[in-house]
Amino acid sequence: MTATARSAAASAGAVPILAAQGLSARYGQVQALAPIDFEVGAGELVAVLGPNGAGKSTLLRAILGLVATGGEVRFLGTVLPRRNPVAVASRGVVLVPEGRGIFGPMTVLENLELGAYRLGRDAQERERRFARVYELFPRLKERLGQAAGSMSGGEQQMLAIGRALMADPRILLLDEPSLGLAPRVTEEILETLRVLNRSGLPVVLVEQRAPSALKLAHRAYLLSLGRLAAVIDPREVHSHEQLAQYYFA
């Protein structure tokens, strides 16, 4: 980590709530992610940037223990289990996966209900969560009875984030939420993430559109070919040329 990035982390008031040490990942015999240290502080929005195949999604999957990993991931001081996404989700670490992972044949309402699967029968809390999601994404409320798979890409992404919020996450991880979306819709989604983060929710955002992500992020990790290439302080990036320097360094 560069000195400036360290100071950026410090300035975000970041006591790490999520800390990965020596986290690596492999698919079979292929090392997809070289050992990496990764931190997210309380209230931080951390972007993970890099070109296709850089290992961004693998990093998220490694944090959740969805792939064979080395190293250790701690969340709020306790080690996260490996190969047990259910247990990880129940700790409040919730991922919006690449491709959204919505349940297409099911209705919007059913998708949202399943987001709150672990809540049980607390109707008051359920209503509070629904109200929060509807406030952020009013369009979802208009489409409750619609099959999720029949909605537009942007609406599906809203649903994927809304469903994740129904779990009342303590940290939200998003894998390429802008993938396949029009720029206007992407801005809408990213603005919602900004609102969520300002409300105190830590966010990890994997994103190929680096300029958009850097506008939101307190800190960014740049990956290349499965390795950490740089930790970027967005305040130090004033132009595309500067960003390109990081990419080509």
Partner 1 sequence: MDFTLIGQSLVSGLGIGCVYGLIGIGFCVIYNASGIVNFAQGAFVMLGGMITHALFVRVELPYGLAILLAVLIVALIGVVLERVVVRPLWTRNAPMFVMILATLAAQIVIERLTYLAADDQPKTLPVFTDVPPIMLRGIAVNIQSLWIITGSLAIVALLALFFKTTRTGKAMRACAINREAAALQGIPVHSMLALAFALSAGLGAVAGIMLTPTQYTAYDVGVPFAISGFIAAIIGGFGRPFGAFLGGLMLGVVQATAILYFGAGLKTVIALSILLLFLFVRPSGLLGAAK
- Residue 49 near partner 1 by CB under 8 A: no
Distance CA 159, CA 72 (A): 31
Q: State the amino acid at position 244 in one-letter form.
A: A
- Residue 81 near partner 1 by CB under 8 A: no
- Residue 105 near partner 1 by CB under 8 A: yes
103 vs 134, beta carbon nearer partner 1: 103
**Inter-residue contact 46 to 14 (CB < 8 Å):** no
Whole-angstrom distance between the N-terminal and C-terminal Cα of the chain? 15
- Residue 22 near partner 1 by CB under 8 A: no
- Residue 146 near partner 1 by CB under 8 A: no
Q: Which residues contact 200 (CB under 8 A, 6 or more apart)?
A: 43
Tell me which residue has tokens 């009013």: 138
Minimum Å distance from CB 156 to partner 1?
A: 12
8 vs 95, beta carbon nearer partner 1: 95
Task: Report the site for partner 1 in 163-202 (rule: CB under 8 A).
Answer: 163, 167
126 vs 209, beta carbon nearer partner 1: 126
Q: CA triplet 117, 173, 167: central angle to 5 degrees?
A: 20
Minimum Å distance from CB 8 to partner 1?
A: 30
Q: Which residues contact 145 (CB under 8 A, 6 or more apart)?
A: 107, 108, 109
71 vs 101, beta carbon nearer partner 1: 101
- Residue 95 near partner 1 by CB under 8 A: yes
Minimum Å distance from CB 29 to partner 1?
A: 16
Angle between helices 108-115 and 153-166 (to 10 degrees): 30
Beta bridge partners of 175: 206
- Residues forming contacts to partner 1 in the complex (CB under 8 A) are 64, 66, 85-86, 89-90, 94-95, 97, 101-106, 110, 113-115, 117-118, 163, 167
